[in-house]
Structure 1
Amino acid sequence: MATVSRVVNNNPNVKPQTRKKVFEAIERLGYRPNAVARGLASKKTTTVGVVIPDISNSIFSEVARGIEDIANMYHYNIILCNADKKKEKEIRVINTLLEKQVDGLLFMGGAVTEDHIQAFKTSSVPVVLCATADEQRVIPSVDIDHEKAAFDAVNVLLQSGHTKIAMISGTLQDPANGYARYQGYRKALEAANIPIDEDYVRIGNYRYESGMDVTKHFLELDERPTAIFAATDEMAIGAIHSLQDSGLRVPEEMSVISVDNIRMASMVRPQLTTVAQPMYDIGAVAMRLLTKLMNKETKDASELTQVILPHEVIHRNSVAQRS
């Protein structure tokens, strides 16, 4: 048994002839090491739990790809769990993953509540927040500055001469994609001395259909906006199609801009001007940070409390100069 263990774990202290015999026996018997037993012996399962809000959303799938690539590099396996941005399901999934003795946990979600933080604090393994953050900044996280990303997007419209700028926001209970981006919108208008018109702000659910529906509301106003800032690309694409269905030309009669830079942003016509999040990098950096914490490569986790990655405005064809 000891010899087989040394061969399976690539211990160099095994004669080549013995190693060959063991591998021949493994192949003949179809032997697979018992991961549970190995985990009990080593107190490591080389497995990381990942909680994702919506696997069908291309934004999160890109983050997951970054996580997976770095996990493979450091020889970790991934258990991916979809939680639908529902608090009760998120807490249940977190506890289930911890019960399965994962070595670390990556959490992508919406609001990080006290219940979430309590679950993380009682965890015996490291936790890293990915594409989100908690308000107190007590849990290590990797994200962008969502408020600044929204501010920069609205500034593109302001610099193009627009003053009647509407927003399709995410839920304000969502600290990143919702509230922070709404705050960026407000601050950009305030910096330009443009009063906030509450009729120009409506809440969507991040999906294409809500972008279409909210845009119809803007078109029914007595004084239409000349530009729309959407909190996500998917809602922005819904807005573009709603405008086109109404016979309006984008961007000649209405400009549209958003945040995310999903693949569809360059496929829609006109191509969508947007603020790019480095989604793959967010996943990759979060996973690398988690490996450092799991392997105790850093002495002070507080130094790694919040990693902010840069965003970038991608100029395409959905914003026009206002004459």
Structure 2
Amino acid sequence: MTIVDIAKEAGYSVSTVSRVLNGRRDVSEEARDRIMRIVEAYQFVPNNNAKHLKQTVSQSILILVKGTSNMLFTNIIEVIQDTIEGSDYSLRVHYLDEDADEVKEAVRMCREHKPMGILFLGGNIQYFHEEFELVNVPCVLVTDRADKLGFRNLASVSTDDMAAAEMAVDYLFDHGHRDVAVIGGDMALSSPSKYRKAGAKRSFIKHGCEFEEESYAVARFSYESAYNAMNRMLASKRSITAVFAMSDVMAVGAMRAIFDAGLRVPEDISVIGFDGTLLADYYNPKIVTVCQGYEKIARKSIDLLFGMIDLNKPATHELVPFSLKNTESVSSI
């Protein structure tokens, strides 16, 4: 009897069984009771020596992270680390530039390090079309959708970016704003940015406004890049009363540029972000943001990956609910 056998009989993921065996609290009472009944029935005792031996062979999970300034990814990695602590797996976190080809890097890492599975935090769908067939281990694309790619070893967990962005811009229009600017990623490099821009456009049309390309400023998902993008917007002398930033990090960069220009948030320009990170809660003013539920995204992602690795489950594609939180960085006009 192994931890994988217990997971199969209990009907839960290996990560859930691992959390129960390690006395973790982030498990439902129903799951804990069922798993412990099976453990007691078979008098299962974890073999720490065998566990250590397996870890020294190759029991690593690779996380490929695009960009180094994405606070959402930082939050997700922390939850993943906490979730697999005490399991048979170890983590290898590898950071890439925002513009890098993550699939090419995955192919190289599989060849050199032979991970059991891969979590992609951020991705460019075009790269998956081109080379993902060369990746032969279970994978999960996190915060982006892979349902239309059709790979049997690629699951995904994400938010409905288009609907979430539409809700964010709706919030600005509902507060009386008509001169709305958008700061977001490069469409050719960021699939979420493409969906979020489409959602923003949908909101503009719904409210009888034309979405002009001059309203969209391209930036990397970093403070500095968003700061520079907002400065370009302000220098254009366009009449802007509100900004939708496609991440909380971008929102902070934009707000700093607004403050440095002698303006106020939200009295002069309102700002809304995206991600729902702790950063939004502790900035002044608190940033209105689309909350993606990063804890649920992280746990669902690792459960899907463990299910594919340990239980040979098929790849599935999950959408995590979103919501708006905070009220301080948007005012009515």
Calculate the TM-score normalised by the size of structure 1: 0.79
Task: Report the counterpart of residue 286 of structure 2 in structure 1.
Answer: 271
Q: Confirm whether residue 128 of structure 1 aligns to residue 143 of structure 2.
A: no
Which one of 55, 59, 76 corresponds to residue 63 of structure 1? Answer: 76
2:93 aligned partner = 80
Give matches, 1:105-254, under 5 Å.
Answer: 105-114=118-127, 116-117=128-129, 119-134=131-146, 136-138=148-150, 139-254=154-269
CA contact (8 A) 2:289 2:326 kept: yes
* 1:86 shift after superposition: 3.9
**What is the alpha-carbon distance in structure 2 between the residues aligned to residue 69 and residue 249 of structure 1?**
39
Q: CA deviation at 1:93?
A: 4.2
The one-letter code sitting in structure 2 at the alignment partner of 1:270 is: P
Once residues 110 and 68 of structure 2 are traced to their aligned partners in structure 1, the CA distance between those partners, rounded to angstroms, is 17
Q: Which amino acid aligns with 1:257?
A: I
Amino acid at match of 1:277: Q
Give the Cα separation in 2 of the matches to 1:205 and 1:105: 24
Other structure's SS at 2:251 match = helix
- In 1, the alpha carbon distance for the partners of 2:67 and 2:280 equals 19
Is the contact between residue 128 and residue 286 of structure 1 (CA under 8 Å) also seen in structure 2?
yes
Name the SS for the 2:199 alignment partner. Answer: helix
CA contact (8 A) 1:49 1:102 kept: yes
Alignment CA distance shift 1:172-1:118 (3 Å): closer
Pairwise CA RMSD:
2.5
| 1:207-232 superposed Cα distances (whole Å, 9 cap, x missing partner) | 11222222222223444111111111
- SS for the counterpart of 2:186 is coil
Structure of larger gyration radius? 1
**Residues 251-290 of structure 1, C-alpha deviation per residue, up to 9 Å, x if partnerless?**
1111111101222212222111111122232122111101
**Structure 1 stretch displaced more, 212-221 or 274-283:** 212-221
**Map of 1:282-293 to 2, 5 A cutoff?**
282-293=297-308
- Greater Cα shift, 206-215 or 164-173: 206-215
**Distance change (3 Å), C-alpha of 1:89 and 1:287:** closer
Partner SS for 1:209 = helix
Give matches, 1:34-45, under 5 Å.
35=54, 39=57, 45=58
5+ residue gaps in structure 2? 1-47
Alignment of 1:302-321 (within 5 A): 304=316, 306-321=317-332
Structure 2 letter corresponding to 1:215:
M
Opposite residue 135 of structure 2, the aligned amino acid is S
Q: For the residues of structure 2 that align with 1:241 and 1:278, how far apart are their CA atoms?
A: 26
> Could you report, residue by residue, the CA deviation over 1:94-118 in whole angstroms, capped at 9, with x for unpaired residues?
422354222212112330334x356
Of 144-153 and 210-219, deviating more is 210-219
- One-letter code of the match for 2:323? E
Alpha-carbon contact 2:63-2:119 (below 8 Å) kept: yes
Amino acid at match of 2:332: Q
Structure 1 residues not aligned, in runs of 5+? 1-22, 27-31, 40-44
More divergent stretch after superposition (162-171 vs 275-284): 275-284
Matched residue of 1:87: which SS? coil
TM-score by length of 2: 0.77
Q: Percent identity?
A: 24
Q: How far apart, CA to CA, are the structure 2 residues paired with 1:201 and 1:253?
A: 19
CA gap 1:66/1:79 in 2 versus in 1, 3 angstroms: same
The total of aligned residue pairs comes to 282
Cα distance change of structure 1 residues 314 and 293 upon mapping to structure 2, 3 Å threshold: same
CA offset at residue 91 of structure 1? Answer: 1.4
- After the TM superposition, which of the residue ranges 149-158 and 209-218 deviates more from structure 2? 209-218
